Amino acid sequence: MKSKVSPGLFVVTILCFLLPFITVSCNGQKVATFSGMQLATGTTLEEPQMFGRPQRKHVDPEPMASLALICAAAGLALSFLGARAALAPAISGAVGALLLVVLQSKLESDITRQAQGMFRLEYESGFVLTLIFFLVAAAWNAWLFFAGRRLSTPAPQAPNSLAQGASPGKDTGANGAP
């Protein structure tokens, strides 16, 4: 029977991309909040103007967020292969978590460079939960893989002179002759 834990972990990870990932604020005022899906696929924002209609601004997709979402989808697909192939979804979960950490570093660097310290990033529940579920999925699948290997590998047996055909009362020499 296949475990439903691994696919479930990756489904929850993908659902976490729908939650707020980051909030950009300036002097304590929220400027924008982005979900993981918006970061991965890009979005359009409306910037309020002092006078007139709000201005529309396109935000390009973040490649690291896109790759992390692809890792979650790949982990989901690979988790249906069963416990024998659990190393693949474990790697997918670990790579997804690593991509989120790289994304965090990149966003911090971009905000610091472009806004010269005026803007501040806050990482919301979606980002934190996605990172946690990636790590849990990686750990679970790694455990499945190594537990499955331990069960399928026969334990080494000690040499037994009875099993090799020697009689119990005779002492054998180096070549097996009495």
Q: Where are the alpha helices (DSSP H) in the chain?
A: 5-16, 36-41, 63-78, 87-115, 125-152
Which residue segments constitute the domains of the chain, with CATH numbers given?
Answer: 5-152 (1.20.140.150)
What is the pTM assigned to this prediction?
A: 0.76
Tens digit of each residue's pLDDT, the chain (178 residues): 357 899 999 999 999 999 999 998 888 788 889 999 999 999 887 766 667 777 788 888 999 999 999 999 999 999 988 767 889 999 999 999 999 999 999 998 888 787 676 788 899 999 999 999 999 999 999 998 888 766 655 555 656 555 555 555 555 555 555 5
